[in-house]
Amino acid sequence: MGFLKIPGLGTVHYHEYGTGTKPLLAFHGYGMTGKQFHVLEQSVLSEYRVYGFDHFFHGDSKLENWTEKQILAGMPRQRVKAYAEAWFSIHGRQRISLMAYSIGANLALILLEEYPDLVDELILMAPDGLAGYKGFSFLQHHPAGRLLFKTATKSKWLMPGILKTLKRFKTIDDSLYTIAYNEVDTIKKREDVFYTLNLIRFLQPDMQKVIALINQYHIKCTLIFGRDDLLFPLKPALPLIEQIEGAEVHEVPMGHWLVTKELDNYLVNLAV
């Protein structure tokens, strides 16, 4: 493990693991840490040395000297480049690969925009960034959604009530409900959700640029979706994916919760 000091942001903590030698910068999903990918022992860790970054308000990463007003205004996407530059300053400027799950995909895709000539491979699982999720957009950008989000953060019953309603109307499934409920059952957890989604609300890749760069630099692209994922399913992302030359796309019999031993076994069997 290690720490990156990023001027104007703070301290970013990363986990280092894997028995392979090729460097892989990895970005986890909400409520997890950079160690999330340790379960991909046979399929990924045997080939790569993973550097898994903790998002802010997760793990041991800390924003420094940021006011609530700054957090709610959102982190400029230009700051994402500083992650890689700080990592390069420690490990040397070299070729890398990128991996991400869920909301972490936005950071990986922005880094691909910035360093297409250095990226060998892109691995995304249940990725945000390709088609997005309208619920997040409403909470992050619409005035009414932002007000509702802030109000729900302070309430003991409103956010759990919203989740129950979403489940009732099948906007989220049982697994997503359980995951989400466990992240909002205390005021601290609700505040972390609120601050995280506000901080990252402008971290949105330019997907047409990303696609052009993947094709131009012949970056290997592996995209994995859960067949029963109601958050970031495959279908809305297909129009973009079809523009990526040679993309390897998998739809596995799982929901949004993809980074598991089951996925590791699935990926290993593909290579047999």
For the chain, which residues make up each domain, given as ranges? 2-132+204-271, 135-197
CA dihedral 242, 248, 252, 258 (to 10 degrees): -100
Give this prediction's pTM: 0.89
Mean pLDDT across the stretch 88-93?
A: 96
Q: 262: which residues sit within 8 A by CB, 6+ positions away?
A: 254
pLDDT band (50, 70, 90) for residue 272: low
CATH number of 2-132+204-271: 3.40.50.1820
Q: How far is Cα 44 from Cα 100, in angstroms, rounded to an integer?
A: 12
Checking if the pLDDT of 135 tops 60, the result is: no
Q: 70: which residues sit within 8 A by CB, 6+ positions away?
A: none
Contact (CB, 8 A) for 97 and 123: yes
Which of 30, 39, 262, 232 lies closest to 128 in space, CA to CA?
A: 232
Contact (CB, 8 A) for 71 and 198: yes
Q: How far is Cα 105 from Cα 29, in angstroms, rounded to an integer?
A: 8
SS3 of 3-25: the string is EEEECCCEEEEEEEECCCCEEEE
Taking every pair of C-alpha atoms in the chain, what is the biggest distance, in angstroms?
Answer: 52
Mean pLDDT across the stretch 26-55?
A: 96
Q: Tell me what the pLDDT averaged over the chain comes to.
A: 89
Contact (CB, 8 A) for 199 and 57: yes
pLDDT band (50, 70, 90) for residue 147: low
Tokens describing residue 206: 């330019």
List the alpha helices (DSSP H) in the chain. Answer: 68-73, 80-91, 105-114, 134-141, 143-154, 158-168, 174-182, 187-199, 207-217, 238-241, 261-271
**pLDDT tens, position by position, 104-124:** 999 999 999 999 999 999 999
Which of 12, 208, 38 lies closest to 129 in space, CA to CA?
A: 208
Which of 239, 235, 267 lies closest to 252 in space, CA to CA?
A: 267
